Structure 1
Amino acid sequence: MPAEHTGSPTAAKRRAEHPVEGKVAVVTGAGSGIGRAVAQAFLNDGYRVALAGRTTRTLEETAGGHPQALVVAADVTKPDDVGRLFGAAVQRWGRIDVVFNNAGIFGPAAAVDEISVGHWNNVVAVNLTGTMLCAAAAVRQMKTQSPQGGRIINNGSISAHSPRPLSVAYTTTKHAVTGLTKSIDLDGRDFGISCGQIDIGNAATGLMSEIGVGSGALQADGSRRAEPTFPVEEAAKAVLLMAQMPPSASVGTLVLTAAGMPFIGRG
């Protein structure tokens, strides 16, 4: 452990006095939805951004030819792919300042006695293990770079607070991401590494269409109800706000929902 903890006020002041020009961000699941909106928000704000996802074509669509975008096709469930992703970003720009762990899937609608082991493992692999692998790669880099430190933002969900019906795998992984977020933030203190979580409800993305939010999402009482949504660009603004916090401050949890959606009073 360094003689002067980089999580200390003195170290935070030193980093603030020597800001990194053109900060570097890594965004997973950047080919669509929230990931695409966040990656574009970072690029528009002057970040250099590594865009990760499984499909090169959609990542290139997100990048839109931006000179500070680096497209890296990678599967977050595969350690070698994750290593290659972070290695490519560091090789090009020398450091990692922000990671937005966004890659995730909802999985099949199923109760605990209905979901197959295969489907369960797939959701856990993407939503939880993938987030852990990317966070681990980020922390390793953030510990060794100079100036030391950085920020990790995990995309949770309001399902980390309250589940939808028939979402056992998704809900379980999002609750687990909350524990992962808190553990990373605690263990990163001495190295100037902070970790926060954004829990989003009903941003207008393809995932919301899949579960019928706009036309009739299943409610806890068995009924179906059209739920309000909000523009995904607003979610991107919130992530950017978290990323822009100075080293001396951190947003632990930010909950952002569509106005009037059934969350606090679900079912």
Structure 2
Amino acid sequence: MTTSLRGQTVIITGGGTGIGRVTARLFAQEGADVLIAGRTVATLKETAEGHDRIEVVEADVAEPGAPERIVAAALDAFGRVDVLVNNAAITRPAALGAIDREAAEQQVATNLIGPAMLAQEALPHLEATRGTIVNITSNGPQRGWANNSVYGATKVGLDFLTYTWAVELAPRGIRVVSVAPGVTATPVLVHAGFTPEEITRWGGELTARIPLGRIARPEEIGWWIVNVARPEAAYLTGTVLRVDGGINAA
């Protein structure tokens, strides 16, 4: 299994930090060629440092023209696309009554429309390689998530795209899977403007609800992303894989 990804090309959005960074390095260690996209060149270069199989492109997936630029960069660097990991996401927590329109539109553009447009741009190249789309999602639709209605709705929507695309694209040889992390130690809340004290308090409250009693490490999520993309996982499509420490079962 350690050589099954050699020679494949992987695109990962949000590759500058957190789950995206770890996943890019894991793919590269497995012999894959990796293009990481993100808004901050400095963090992208930090991810790629010491990994000659990782190339970077500055691109905000929410912006018009970004999907075309990302796919073109992958083709220029490696000549093919085998795996697309839609990982980039933002959260701007707010309760109903305090939702800012611009913040809501940014979340929808980054978390839902961006992945759809990027998958559409990569589609002919994924068909040529009988490739895989991995959508990184989050919460399920069965329970509410106070102060996160817009973010949660985008992630549930992305799972729906996984189900739908799996049906649409199976005849073209393309698999589509969601990996849905639970609470994971990433900078996403820092980027949302939370203070360290607020993050510590929020994390403690959530940890108390997780059956395994701890927050996930990014490496534990990246492992699943890499493995669902392997050729050995060829019968896996149209499913949401919840890697959440049991919080959805609790």
Deviation at 1:186, TM superposition (A): 1.1
1:99 and 2:99 correspond: no
Deviation at 1:141, TM superposition (A): 1.9
Given candidates 116, 131, 136, the residue that maps to 1:132 is: 116
1:189 and 2:170 correspond: yes
Q: Is the 8 A contact 2:6 2:31 kept in 1?
A: no
Deviation at 1:250, TM superposition (A): 1.4
Change (3 A) 1:95 1:43: same
Change (3 A) 1:214 1:75: closer
Please give the TM-score of this superposition, normalised by the length of structure 2.
Answer: 0.86
Amino acid aligned to 1:217: W
SS at match of 2:232: coil
Please give the TM-score of this superposition, normalised by the length of structure 1.
Answer: 0.81
Listed one character per residue, the Cα deviations across residues 176-227 of structure 1 (whole Å, up to 9, x for unaligned) are: 1011111211111111111100110012112256497863229xxxxx7251
Deviation at 1:20, TM superposition (A): 7.8
Given candidates 67, 71, 84, the residue that maps to 2:52 is: 67
1:88 alignment counterpart: 73
RMSD between aligned residues: 2.3
Given candidates 83, 94, 97, the residue that maps to 1:113 is: 97
1:5 alignment counterpart: none
Change (3 A) 1:41 1:247: closer
In 1, Cα distance between the equivalents of 2:60 and 2:205? 34
Given candidates 201, 217, 235, the residue that maps to 1:249 is: 235
Listed one character per residue, the Cα deviations across residues 16-59 of structure 1 (whole Å, up to 9, x for unaligned) are: xxx88511000000000111111111111111000100111100
1:225 alignment counterpart: 205
SS at match of 1:88: helix
Given candidates 151, 157, 172, the residue that maps to 2:138 is: 157
Deviation at 1:92, TM superposition (A): 2.1
SS at match of 1:217: helix
In 1, Cα distance between the equivalents of 2:166 and 2:82? 15
Aligned residue runs from structure 1 range 5-84, under 5 A: 21-84=6-69
SS at match of 1:189: helix
2:210 alignment counterpart: none
Deviation at 1:66, TM superposition (A): 1.9
Q: Is the 8 A contact 1:203 1:258 kept in 2?
A: no
In 2, Cα distance between the equivalents of 1:39 and 1:20? 13
Deviation at 1:119, TM superposition (A): 1.3
- Size of the aligned set, in residue pairs, is 236
SS at match of 1:187: helix
In 2, Cα distance between the equivalents of 1:155 and 1:20? 20
Change (3 A) 1:83 1:232: same
Deviation at 1:91, TM superposition (A): 2.0
Change (3 A) 1:29 1:217: same
In 2, Cα distance between the equivalents of 1:159 and 1:205? 20
Q: Is the 8 A contact 2:20 2:87 kept in 1?
A: yes
In 2, Cα distance between the equivalents of 1:208 and 1:120? 16
In 2, Cα distance between the equivalents of 1:194 and 1:208? 31
Quote the sequence identity (%): 29
Structure 1 gaps of 5+ residues are: 1-18, 219-223
Amino acid aligned to 2:150: A
In 2, Cα distance between the equivalents of 1:78 and 1:179? 22
Structure 2 gaps of 5+ residues are: 208-213
Larger Rg: 1
